[in-house]
Every structure is written in C-alpha cells, then in structure tokens.
Chain A
Amino acid sequence: GAVVSQHPSRVICKSGTSVKIECRSLDFQATTMFWYRQFPKQSLMLMATSNEGSKATYEQGVEKDKFLINHASLTLSTLTVTSAHPEDSSFYICSAKTQEDTEAFFGQGTRLTVV
C-alpha cells in the first residue's frame, strides 16, 4: 500500500512555544490530507481537511489560528500548533488520499507533550 510518513514521532515542547508536524505522502500524490487528534482511550477526532493549494477546512470547535495547516504541495502537509499549552498534549495523526480513492493512508502519528 501507499506510504505516509509523519515526523516527528514524538516531541516535547515548553508551554507557549510552537511545534510543527509534517505529513508526507512518499509514493503518491495526495490531493487531500486529514489531520486528527486522539485523546487517551478515545477515538480519532477529525480536526481539519486540507486540499492542496487551498485553505484548510476546520471542524467545528477547532481553532484555526491555533492549529495552522499548510498543504503547499501534493506530497506535504504541515500542522503547526501555535502557543502550545499542556491541554494540547495529544496524539496527532495525519492521513492522505487521492481525490477519487475511498481509502486513506495514515502516518505513524506524533505524540505531543507540552510541559
């Protein structure tokens, strides 16, 4: 299957700083990428959908100024958590797909800890 690489896998940052997470599709062009967060023992919650070259669509309740998403190319999307706080600590996962395919491929996830 297609490969999606997410980096970093783990990051610890200080409260008030910003953290950037990258999501790359390694062997296919991803017209759409999705960003999810997962709280302990809970399911994945969709945060936003990004299409290459256009602004991301955020789910209700997700602060677009706090979670900046950039999808500048067909193989790369980034999520920047700005002015991070301890409550932003979570597992963030991206997925990528082509426009027509029903299957999405997931990155390995990023464990963010804000101290």
Chain B
Amino acid sequence: GNSVTQMEGPVTLSEEAFLTINCTYTATGYPSLFWYVQYPGEGLQLLLKATKADDKGSNKGFEATYRKETTSFHLEKGSVQVSDSAVYFCALSALSSGSARQLTFGSGTQLTVLP
C-alpha cells in the first residue's frame, strides 16, 4: 500500500537557520506529492506540491523536489522565521479504489523557530 515516512520531530531552530524536513514515500503508480502546513488551532493549508518526477514545488521560501529515484520529497527553507512555527505534513495522492484519489499523510513534524 501507499505510505509516507516523515522525519520525526520536534525540530527547534533559531531564526534565519536552514531547515530540512525529510520525507520519503512508497506508492504504486505515479503519485503527486504535497507539503501541508498546520498552524496552531487551524486546519491544513497546502504549502506546495509537485505532480511528476523532477518537479520542484515552491512557496513562501519553501521548496521541495520530487525525486523518483530516491522516492523522496524533502522540504527545505534557507532562512526560517518565527512565523514558520507550525506542524508540517508530507502527503501523497495516488490512485486508490474508486475514482477519487485519497491523500496519505506522514506523521507530521512540529517546527518551532526561536527568535
């Protein structure tokens, strides 16, 4: 079946530090890959996505590249801010039974950025 393995947290960084959150996946077919962010008390927001191999998704300074050869989709940001403190979820969308594509989530990584 499909699965997403995500770097365990929590991760604590100082402002302006470099961020990497690792994500690897197992899926049949050709999944689309996503990073979602969840701020305290809120629902999930799509941060970025990539739909095919070698695609790079980017948003708000965050980037992730779809690597089919290593089945990875690591999230990076060159300089984090306090406002980036949140839980980050890696997810994939692949064909499942029926016509709808379900999302499979990783366990989430709590990021705290200190001033």
Q: Mark A residues whose CB is within 8 Å of B.
A: 1, 6, 31-32, 34, 41-44, 46, 49, 51, 57, 93, 95, 97, 99, 102-109, 111
Contacts and interface: CB of A to CB of B under 8 A. Distances in A.
A12 B100 CA distance: 33
Nearest to B10: A41
Interface of B: 32, 34, 36, 41-46, 49, 51, 89, 93, 97-103, 105-108, 110
Contacts of B105: 43-44
Contacts of A43: 89, 105-108
B43 A93 contact: yes
16 contacts: A32-B100, A34-B103, A41-B110, A43-B89, A44-B44, A44-B89, A95-B44, A97-B100, A97-B101, A99-B99, A103-B46, A103-B49, A104-B103, A106-B36, A106-B45, A109-B42
A31 B93 CA distance: 16
Contacts of B110: 41
Among B42, B49, B103, B105, the one with the most A-chain Cβ atoms within 10 Å of its Cβ is B103
A109 B43 contact: yes
Contacts of A93: 43-44
A32 B42 CA distance: 22
Nearest to B108: A43
Contacts of A102: 32, 51, 93, 101
